[in-house]
Amino acid sequence: MASLAAKPALLAEISHDVRRPLMRTRLALAMLPEELPDRAEMERDIGETERLTKLYSEFAPGKGEEQPVAMNVPLLTSIAWDRGNEIVARRG
């Protein structure tokens, strides 16, 4: 398990690693037809991912002022999985 001191560096690295594929995804989406049925939802998802990535990168330099927060990672993962399956199911 990563030490508390290593977490800011880990968050910065994750944030950096996510930005490049996110930019490629946004570019690929921009090249798709405007009338694509799920386009608006895909753009919202990309925007939300960009927002979260920005939050992670802002937190990464942390000055030790942040308080730990308990999270239910299995629940968050389950919600993300279900949302992805809903999008795929709508596409048929």
Share of the chain above pLDDT 90, in %: 0
pLDDT in tens, 51-78: 887 777 776 655 556 676 788 888 888 8
pLDDT at 20: 81
Q: In whole angstroms, what separates CA 35 from the centre of its chain?
A: 25
Provide the token pair at 52.
Answer: 């979260």
Domain that holds residue 21: 4-91
Domain count, the chain: 1
Q: Do residues 38 and 87 make contact, with C-beta atoms less than 8 angstroms apart?
A: yes
pTM over 0.75: no
pLDDT at 72: 83
CA distance 80 to 92: 19
pLDDT at 11: 67
